[in-house]
Structure 1
Amino acid sequence: MSGSARRYEPMRPAQFAVAVCCMLLVVVGSNILVQVPLNDWLTWGGLSYPVAFLVTDVLNRRFGPAAARRVAWFGFAAALAVSVWVASPRIALASGLAYICAQLVDIHVFDRLRDLRWWRAPLASGVLGAILDTAVFFSVAFAATGTPWLTWMLGDLGVKLAVNVSMLAPFRALMWNLARPANA
């Protein structure tokens, strides 16, 4: 059965609000943390941002790609608005552009692979999303700034890929708990 022919649980307004708040927290927090380098290879934002893919994948699995896209777009608008105040305009622009491109790719790839083994969709979509996000973000945010952005980009990507793999366990646990009946 293709993703578009599936029936998904409808997302209630409270669930939507929680999902957008989670996305906002991850993206804004990461925009603040990306400005704090750990060393010449990594910023703190590289550790926090991959959680955005976990949020998207859980939404995609439970509520379908349309709901995940809706949360991604609302999260994009909210995070961009807040990021302008907590980060530099260049960081906010880079973050917004990288975020929406990567999230839409993640949602599409996840939906195409959702019928394979449980781990393939979140792993493949997260890897592709992380590569796209990292390339777009670091080239827009830091190119020609005199910072070691190429090494930050490589370090950030390595951490995002490692965190993406580590997010498989929480994804599986959330899927198991979300699949149980509410009165169980």
Structure 2
Amino acid sequence: MTRTHLPGIIAMAAIVVASNILVQFLYGNWLTWGAFTYPLAFLVTDVMNRVYGTAAARRVVLVGFVVGVVCSLIGTQIMGEFGPLVTVRIAIASGLGFLTAQLLDVGIFARLRDGAWWKAPLVSTLVGSTVDTVIFFSIAFSSTLSFIHPATDVSWASQIMPILGAGPMAPLWVSLAVADWAVKLSLALLALVPFRFITARLRAA
């Protein structure tokens, strides 16, 4: 890891820490403020991949994973109104979702690197974001995976209701996942602008 990678490391660590804090604060009925900061991790990974290569991107992902694990461990020790701020299931879901999705993003980006400038960051982020959403919400809240940590009560997330208040009936956690996924997809498109600008500046430096 060279000094030139330090901004990427700091950015990834800051995003992970901020997301772990902001996920405690609700935004509307289906989201938390963390939903708007976490997707920026894909932007950092893609910029590192484009400018410094796959190995550098993987190192930055590893830093983010370690920081996330530390945040989760701290969260499990802080008691909120309904118990620990971070349950064991959420800690597992968060870590596994982040690492799997980010490494998948790195791999897909590398495969598409030589195509149109927008293709690698867009496709890798869309696929990574989708995988992250599926892994996190199913492990954290699905009643079928309660064996992961039986002591964690996620019955509230299994309440049957219309998806996003208007769609077909499904457990509440499905609405949370759909809303989160929609934000990630929207930000994946918007992130193409800073991706283009940042990579151009760094490669010209």
TM-score by length of 1: 0.85
**What is the CA-CA distance between 1:108 and the residue it aligns to?**
0.4
- Name the stretch that deviates more: 44-53 or 33-42: 33-42
Q: Distance in 2 between matches of 1:18 and 1:175?
A: 13
Equivalent residue runs for 1:31-50 within 5 Å: 31-50=20-39
| Alignment correspondent of 1:173 | 197
The verdict on how the C-alpha distance between 1:91 and 1:31 changes in structure 2, with shifts beyond 3 A counting, is: farther
Aligned-residue Cα RMSD (Å) equals 1.6
Q: 1:71 maps to which residue? A: 60
What does residue 164 of structure 1 align with? 188
The structure number with the bigger radius of gyration is 2
Cα 1:23–1:104 change in 2 (3 A) is same
**Partners of 2:43 and 2:191 within 8 A in 1:** yes
Aligned length: 170
Which one-letter code corresponds to 2:128 in the other structure? G
Counterpart residue type for residue 109 of structure 2: F
Contact 1:110-1:125 at 8 Å conserved across structures: yes
The separation in 2 between residues aligned to 1:106 and 1:96, in whole angstroms, is 15
Q: What residue is the counterpart of 2:148 in the other structure?
A: none
Of structures 1 and 2, the one scoring higher in RCO (CA 8 A, sep 6+) is 1
Residue 40 of structure 1: how far off its partner (Å): 3.0
Given the alignment, which residue of 10, 34, 44 partners 1:21? 10
Give the CA deviation at 1:156: 0.3
Using the alignment, how far apart are the partners of 1:114 and 1:93 within structure 2?
A: 31
Moved over 6 A (4+): none
Shift of 1:27: 1.7
Tell me the equivalent position of 1:136.
Answer: 135
The aligned residue for residue 152 of structure 1 is: 176
User: What is the deviation of 1:140?
Assistant: 1.7
Counterpart of 2:5, as a letter, is: F
Distance 1:35 1:138 in 2: 16
Give the AA of the match of 1:100.
Answer: L
Using structure 2 for the length normalisation, give the TM-score: 0.77
Q: Percent identity?
A: 45
Q: Report the alpha carbon displacement of residue 15 of structure 1 after superposing the two structures with TM.
A: 3.2
Does the CA contact (< 8 Å) of 2:42 and 2:125 recur in 1?
Answer: yes
Note closer, same or farther for the CA distance 1:121–1:166 as it changes in structure 2 (3 Å cut): same
